[in-house]
Amino acid sequence: MVNDRFIHTKRKHKNKAGKTPEQLDAEKGKFPFTEIHGFKLKEVEWSVPDQKTRKSRRRAFNNVREAFLKHIGETMAPALREMGLTDKEIALVKKGKAPIGYNVHHKLPIHGGGKNEFSNLILMPIGPHDDLHHKVMDPQVAQMQSGETKKVVIPWTDDMVYIDPERKKAAPQKTAFIANALAARNGR
């Protein structure tokens, strides 16, 4: 009965809906990590506004996005450079436009009741951005309807400009290297 054993093994890994244990955990807000792309997982109340509110907030976001980009372009150029943007791309941000491959993310999405406030926004590359949605939030909220509320784990940071966690780790070394180079030049 080789076939039966094969079927039995298959069933251990996937349930009837064809979901893996990892997918089922993700739907319950359980993850094998506490941080993703430098964002810390944090539990919040996810409350789906009615469709009209969501629509008008998304429409209003077009202007807020532009104002937000201008703001970070004017006040956070070093962070934008640290993120890997060129001078040309930073000039674009100052004009209120996102460079190709980047977008402005709502840390608490509009679907979860998030607002168009600067503190709820971050400019980040599309790759890690999509991971925040697909790997963390989507599995938990996909079935939620207007007016529903539940506790949801979201990736959170206070930053308004994304810094690759690998670059963050490398930064102290870079600073030390520059300090040493200066000391050497000064003959110390």
Sequence letter at residue 112: G
Q: How many residues bind Zn ion (CB under 5 A)?
A: 1
Report in angstroms how near the CB of residue 107 gets to Zn ion at its nearest.
8
Would you say 57 or 105 has its CB closer to Zn ion? 105
Would you say 134 or 150 has its CB closer to Zn ion? 134
Whole-angstrom CA distances from 111 to 10, 83, 92 are: 36, 27, 28
Would you say 65 or 105 has its CB closer to Zn ion? 105
Q: Which residue is nearest to Zn ion (CB)?
A: 105
Strand order in the sheet with 39-47: 35-36, 39-47, 149-156
The interface mask with Zn ion, positions 57-96, x = CB under 5 A, is: ----------------------------------------
- Take residue 121 and report the two structure tokens written for it: 């926004």
Distance CA 186, CA 149 (A): 61
Question: Residue 153: beta bridge partners?
Answer: 43
Report in angstroms how near the CB of residue 56 gets to Zn ion at its nearest.
18
Q: Phi/psi of residue 100, each to 5°?
A: -60, 135
Report in angstroms how near the CB of residue 122 gets to Zn ion at its nearest.
9
Would you say 37 or 105 has its CB closer to Zn ion? 105
- Residues numbered 89 to 128 that lie near Zn ion (CB under 5 A) are 105
Report in angstroms how near the CB of residue 140 gets to Zn ion at its nearest.
14
Whole-angstrom CA distances from 33 to 88, 93, 174, 183 are: 36, 32, 28, 41
Closest CA to 83 of 149, 128, 31: 128
Report in angstroms how near the CB of residue 138 gets to Zn ion at its nearest.
11
Would you say 73 or 109 has its CB closer to Zn ion? 109
- Applying CB under 5 A, the residues found at the interface with Zn ion are 105
